Amino acid sequence: MRKRISHPKSPSLLPHISGAVLCDGLLFISGQGPLDMSTRGVVAGTIEEETRLTIENIEAILREAGGSLENVVKCTCYLGSLSDFGGFDETYRRFFPFAVPPARTTLQAPLLRGIKVEIDAIARLDP
């Protein structure tokens, strides 16, 4: 059974898009960026600021599903420019200081709306 999970402040999305899907204890979070969820507007800033807001948006979705960042087992991170990797990585590590951090792939990709970072995640939630 699949259940749609949304950021608690997000306006309703198009029916063909899910912010996250919970299925058999796994939460699949769609790519999140540095957005003000109440307006869906980009909050442009430094790579550190955009990374922080992006992960905070992921964290809000996790809370809505009954989890936390500690439940994340995999992240795929997209950077508009690999020259931002240092600032991105430093900020990312502050949110995932666990003995066993999530598996992670980081790559450069063209991103929409002028954002510097987008992250999708998979989390395992306890039943």
Mean pLDDT of 101-123: 97
pTM: 0.94
Q: What is the mean pLDDT of the chain?
A: 93
CB 79 within 8 A of CB 104: no
Checking if the pLDDT of 85 tops 70, the result is yes
Amino acid 17: pLDDT: 76
Domains by residue range for the chain, with CATH:
2-124 (3.30.1330.40)
Q: What is the pLDDT of residues 15-53, one digit of tens each?
A: 677 889 999 999 999 999 999 988 888 999 999 999 999
C-alpha distance from residue 3 to each of 9, 17, 46, 99 (Å): 18, 13, 34, 30
Which pLDDT does position 75 carry in this prediction?
98
- 7 pLDDT band, cuts 50/70/90, is confident
